[in-house]
Amino acid sequence: MIFNLNSLDKSVSTKTKTTVLVLGMFFILSLFFLYLQYITTKEFILESQDEYENKVNSIFKESVLKTKRFYVNRGLANLNSYGIDNALNNDKDKLISLSKNRWEILKQENKFLKSMVFFDKSEKFLAYLGEEPASKNFENIDSSFKFSQETLTYQLVVPTPSENGYLLFII
């Protein structure tokens, strides 16, 4: 049997043809509006992700800045304490005994504080409170983040006002 469009035209009523045409247009318009909704939703999600990323970035930077200010102030308070400046001249025992109370307070304030490390003005390792630092070489230590497979640490260097040495916090 051969399909003939003319015979279909004669056998189908105008009402049926109109109904099929309207349904076809409705289907095409529905697909068009679904596509527009998809594009709009996709743009909204991308904008939301960018906004969320910016907020997280801002919170992270603000947290790092506040942490840095806090520990610089605490470090300077310790370094300006009585006897610390003299103890930075290779008197490890005196340095530890003078800083022990501050270390205990800092450790209570932040459970993530791992170490407080002292270096003299020639960048030679002197003493530490808390966990023993992985590196005792000041040349490799700066205020920065350090990544390993197990941990993320933030190292913050505080120089003494008299430039007799350095204090390093490892968080």
pLDDT, position 26: 93
pLDDT, position 40: 93
CA separation for the pair 67, 143 (Å, rounded): 12
Query: Which pLDDT band, with edges at 50, 70 and 90, does 171 fall under?
Result: confident
CA separation for the pair 168, 113 (Å, rounded): 11
At 34-74, the pLDDT tens digits run 999 999 999 999 999 989 999 999 998 898 888 888 888 88
Q: Is the pLDDT of residue 6 over 70?
A: no
Least confident of 23-32, 112-121, 126-135: 126-135
Query: Which pLDDT band, with edges at 50, 70 and 90, does 11 fall under?
Result: confident
pLDDT, position 118: 84
pLDDT, position 115: 87
3-class secondary structure per residue, 52-115: HHHHHHHHHHHHHHHHHHHHHHHHHHHHCCCCHHHHCCCCHHHHHHHHHHHHHHHHHHCCCCCE
- Mean pLDDT, rounded, for 112-135: 81
At 12-31, the pLDDT tens digits run 788 888 898 999 999 999 99
Could you tell me which of 85, 78, 79 has the C-alpha nearest to residue 101?
78
At 132-158, the pLDDT tens digits run 777 666 565 666 776 666 777 788 888
Max mean pLDDT range (78-82, 87-91, 109-113): 109-113
